[in-house]
Structure 1
């Protein structure tokens, strides 16, 4: 038996509870992992609360991230005792995830834990930080360098935004952060932002084109915010889009794309091919100041994850939430 959060949906309703689970209930997979840490992401919070149809099959153990040690493996790349991490691949949505003390997984979904990180540090980064690194790699791939100008990071006090701000600033970019929480200004400046803007300036309908300012951007919000970011991006600038915290809609015009040559680069972390995952984690190991992870993250026990989910959706949680599944 092991402890885990179980989401159920039946005639009695939708509910997430912390319960004891039998190992025989674990789904099919060629690697069994003793989980040490997981995380609480925006998607996990949606799954736990049921505020969006994230979970596709029931019952489900949520948790799109995990770090742990291989207990048993028939996969050629992994053996008992190996330290591994997992991000995405539909785990926590269609396959039991990391918010439990054990997981059985497809070994092709795993990557080795980088030697530079402890399991706690890897989960302080988690899917959010790995997604942030994919955004940075996309900016670089499209030729955006620090010399090109300011990089805007929306939702900057959240998990993706916090890591993006820390990584971009360390790489020499001039980072301007957007947040709806003025109290987080000092926090964002400690991470490397040179200026913090109020999200209200981006959250309502704007003009098809605004004054050019951003050489690039990392957007986790979507909706009017993403439209306004594109409208104020400089000629041949690049906007990476990886979230929908403000909505799935995109009420924009083609003007930024056909008049300024702006590139809108979509970032998907769930099904991202393994070589790009390995590169993202390699770059995180070299380009993220590990000392900043303490400021970016907080750690809670598995018993607190359910109650924290609603607060995360309400924007009351700073940075990353690490979940120690063994307490």
Structure 2
């Protein structure tokens, strides 16, 4: 028997609870993993609270991330005892995820844990940090270099934003953090942001073209925020869009793209090809300031994940929540 968070939907309604499961109940897969740490992502909190129809089958163990040790393997790429990381692929939505002490998954979904990280550090990074790295790589691929000017990061106090600021600052970029919480200013400056701006400056309908300011941006908001960012990009600038915290709409015009050559790069982390995943994790091992991880991370238990989910939905949390599934 092992501990797990279990989500169910039946005649009694939608429930999320801490319970016991057996190995035989785990879904099909060719690799069995002893989970060391998982995380509480925004998507996990949507699943736990039922605030959005994230879960596609019931019962479900949430947790889109996990880091642990292979204990059984029928996959040629992974051996017993190897440390691995999993992000995405519908795990925690359609396939039982990482918020349990064991997980059985497809080996094609796994990547080796870089030797630079412990399992706990890897989950401090998690899907949010891995997505942030994909965003930074996209900006680089579109020619955004430090000397070209300021980089805007929205949702700055969240998981993606926190890691993006740390990465960009270490790489020499001048980072402006956009946040709705003034009390997080010192935290954001400690990660390497040079300025902090109120997110409300970007959330209302703006002009089709605004004064050129940003050389690049990492956006988790969408909606009017993303439209206003595009409108105020410098000529040839690029925006990496990876979220919809404000909304999934994009009330913009084509003007920034056809008059300033702006690039809007969409970042998918869920089904990213394995080669891209490995490249991103290798870059994280090279470019992330590991001294920032303790400030970014809060460790919680499986039971506390249930309690924390609503706070995360309400935007009252900071950084990353690492779940020690064995406490």
- Provide the alpha-carbon RMSD of the alignment: 0.6
Alpha-carbon distance in structure 2 between the residues aligned to 1:245 and 1:118? 30
* Structure 1, unpaired ranges of 5+: none
Alpha-carbon distance in structure 1 between the residues aligned to 2:260 and 2:69? 49
SS at match of 2:37: strand
State the TM-score, normalizing by the size of structure 1. Answer: 0.99
Alpha-carbon distance in structure 2 between the residues aligned to 1:48 and 1:258? 43
What's 2:84 paired with? 84
Alpha-carbon distance in structure 1 between the residues aligned to 2:309 and 2:207? 35
Aligned residues: 327
Alpha-carbon distance in structure 1 between the residues aligned to 2:307 and 2:244? 22
1:306-321 aligned within 5 A: 306-321=306-321
- State the 1:274 CA deviation: 0.4
- State the 1:254 CA deviation: 1.2
1:266-285 aligned within 5 A: 266-285=266-285
Alpha-carbon distance in structure 1 between the residues aligned to 2:205 and 2:48? 32
SS at match of 1:193: coil
State the TM-score, normalizing by the size of structure 2. Answer: 0.99
1:7-18 aligned within 5 A: 7-18=7-18
What's 2:262 paired with? 262
Q: Map Cα deviations across residues 241-267 of structure 1 (whole Å, 9 max, x no partner).
A: 000111111111111111111100000
Q: Map Cα deviations across residues 113-145 of structure 1 (whole Å, 9 max, x no partner).
A: 110101000000000000000000000111110
SS at match of 1:205: coil
Matched, 1:322 2:322: yes
Q: Tell me which moved more, 250-259 or 89-98.
A: 250-259
Alpha-carbon distance in structure 1 between the residues aligned to 2:190 and 2:326? 31
Alpha-carbon distance in structure 1 between the residues aligned to 2:228 and 2:115? 40
Q: Map Cα deviations across residues 275-298 of structure 1 (whole Å, 9 max, x no partner).
A: 000000000001001111001111
Alpha-carbon distance in structure 2 between the residues aligned to 1:277 and 1:97? 18
1:104-123 aligned within 5 A: 104-123=104-123
Alpha-carbon distance in structure 1 between the residues aligned to 2:99 and 2:74? 23
What's 1:178 paired with? 178
Q: Map Cα deviations across residues 43-101 of structure 1 (whole Å, 9 max, x no partner).
A: 11111111111111111100000001111001011111111110001100110000000
Q: Map Cα deviations across residues 214-257 of structure 1 (whole Å, 9 max, x no partner).
A: 00000001111111111111111000000011111111111111
Alpha-carbon distance in structure 2 between the residues aligned to 1:287 and 1:6? 36
* Structure 2, unpaired ranges of 5+: none
Alpha-carbon distance in structure 2 between the residues aligned to 1:286 and 1:279? 11
What's 1:210 paired with? 210
Alpha-carbon distance in structure 2 between the residues aligned to 1:58 and 1:96? 10
What's 2:51 paired with? 51
What's 1:194 paired with? 194
What's 1:23 paired with? 23
